[in-house]
Amino acid sequence: MVKLIIPVSKPEEGAAGLTGIWRSFKPIIDQEKCKHCLMCWLYCPEGAIERIGEDKLTVKINYDYCKGCGICADICPFKAITMVREE
Ligand code: SF4
Ligand code: SF4
């Protein structure tokens, strides 16, 4: 049996603080539309999407590190992520 290993880096607070404060748009996941394909998790350049739940197939955005680039919303094949302007 072949075991698939995907290296994943985790974001950490840097000298400039949490990168989430740079954000002007915020991704919101509609969990009803999400089909758990993990494309957003794979493509997020910040490692700001976490996999949670027992099977690790539910995705959650870590807003401490999400910069609001919108890649996750663009890549989601099911249009389950919407970018909304920050308050
Ligand atoms: S890319 Fe879209 S459908 Fe796939 S896990 Fe992310 S939010 Fe869910
Ligand atoms: S908006 Fe960009 S940084 Fe934030 S979760 Fe999506 S891909 Fe990652």
Dihedral sign for Cα atoms in the order 21, 27, 71, 57 = positive
One pLDDT digit (tens) per residue for the chain, 87 residues: 777 776 677 888 888 789 899 899 999 999 999 999 999 999 999 999 999 999 999 999 999 999 999 999 999 999 999 999 998
pTM for this model (two decimals): 0.89
Which atom of ligand 1 lies nearest, measured to the CA of 76? 1
Distance between CA 87 and CA 71 in Å, rounded? 20
Which atom of ligand 1 lies nearest, measured to the CA of 29? 7
Query: Is the C-beta atom of 68 inside 6 A of ligand 2?
Result: yes
Query: For residues 4, 46, 59 and 2, what is the CA-based torsion angle, rounded to 10 degrees?
Result: 0
Domain 32-85, what fold? Answer: Alpha-Beta Plaits (3.30.70)
For ligand 2, atom 3, name the residue with the nearest CA.
Answer: 66
